[in-house]
Amino acid sequence: MNLLTTLAGSMMEGFLPAGWDLAKIDACCSHPPESVGVRQPWWHPEFNPVPCGSLEDFDVMLGHEIARVISDSRREGRECALILPVGPMGMYRWAVYFLKEWGVRCDHVHGFNMDEWSDRDGKTLPSNDPGAFQNAMESAFYGPLGSATVSANRRWFATPDRLPHYAERIAELKKAGAELTVIFGIGRVCHIAFWEPHFAAEFASVADWKQQTHRLGARLHPLTIEQNALTSFRSRTTLVPAFANTIGPGLFLEADRIIGGADGIFGRNMQWQGMSLWMTLRYGPDPWVPSSFMPTLKGRLYYLSPLAGPLLPEMN
């Protein structure tokens, strides 16, 4: 007895994304933990999942890699284009630490925040609102860099006046020799940024889906809202907007390199991201599972080891 056998007539019927193959998802989650890194045919030859034994290790390892990308581009005389998330966040403290320790200035960096809360028309929260992603980035990364920071005119936030210009500006930077690094987390429903799985129903082909660079006032899945209520709003669902501005696959799949992170563990053996991790790695590229395309790109996906499972009941 499980969700697959009791779905009909339940309140879950029609709740999960319509294009999800639940039996396939269950099979993805049934593999033993030690097989999580077994390479799949669709993975990029230089894509690798990287286990982390603790949250502290996770934060340091991601922060080091972000700092290394910035430092390498500086040394090579190239502009550095970064698509940046708000979640995970702990790596920014360590990115700042390494950059300061190495004496690396960031005036060659262009930072594009991947998303921001909005209303249905794309109007965003004030930049200084405690829940605003812009506020989080200024506090966690740009501010602590001090005099070595990214200049204000190179900080891009997903506001309705700026987000539509991301694609053009990133294309200009890449044409001039910059590499694009996409830093990302994975959503409960396997979104990248706030590009949700149900958007897949709007497109006639995968090729059309892949061309979408952004969306203003994107309608969020209820599980996305509840994920953020638990992880960012201390369970207060009523504070979480139901819409967001977000980049789309036309940008995050243009990455020259990816740096991903999955740290969705609460403590007391509770977690929310194990299924999402396994779907990302094993489902195979499918617009209904946006994160499933990330292993097709060069880079690393860092994850906390317990997310690999076993994903089985544990009653405490």
Residues 214-234 have pLDDT tens digits of 999 999 999 999 999 999 999
Mean pLDDT of 24-46: 98
- The model's pLDDT over 251-290, given as tens digits with 9 standing for 90+, comes to 999 999 999 999 999 989 899 999 999 999 999 999 999 9
Per-residue HEC secondary structure of 44-85 comes to CCCEEEEEECCHHHHHHHHHHHHHHHHHHHHHCCCCEEEEEC
| Cβ pair 140, 85 in contact under 8 A | no
pTM score, whole prediction? 0.97
pLDDT, residue 314, reads 80
Going by pLDDT thresholds of 50, 70 and 90, the confidence category of residue 83 is very high
pLDDT band with cut points at 50, 70 and 90 for residue 315: low
Residue 84 has pLDDT above 90, yes or no: yes
Report the C-alpha gap between 280 and 218 in whole angstroms. Answer: 22
pLDDT at 316 over 80: no
Phi, psi values for residue 164, rounded to 5°: -65, -15
Residue type, 60: V
Sign of the alpha-carbon torsion through 157, 159, 189, 21:
negative
Mean pLDDT of the chain, nearest integer: 97
CA pseudo-torsion sign 301, 303, 309, 312: negative
pLDDT digits (tens, 9 = 90+) for 103-128: 999 999 999 999 999 999 999 999 99
Residue 98, pLDDT > 70, answer yes
Q: Please state, in angstroms and as integers, the Cα–Cα distance from residue 69 to each residue in 65, 164, 277, 299, 310, following that order.
A: 6, 26, 24, 11, 33
Instruction: Tell me the DSSP string of 236-283.
Output: -GGGS-SEEEEE-HHHHTT-SEEEEEE--EEETTEES-HHHHHHHHHS
Is the predicted pLDDT of residue 8 greater than 90, yes or no?
Answer: yes
Residue 178 to residues 104, 106, 130, 227, 255: CA-CA distances in angstroms?
17, 14, 33, 34, 11
Dump pLDDT digits (tens) for 137-191.
999 999 999 999 999 999 999 999 999 999 999 999 999 999 999 999 999 999 9
For 298, residues 6+ apart whose C-beta sits below 8 A from its C-beta are 44, 46, 47, 255, 256, 257, 258
**pLDDT score, position 187:** 98
287 prior amide bond cis, ω within 30: no
Domains of the chain in sequence order:
48-306 (3.40.50.1360)
Greatest C-alpha distance within the chain: 61
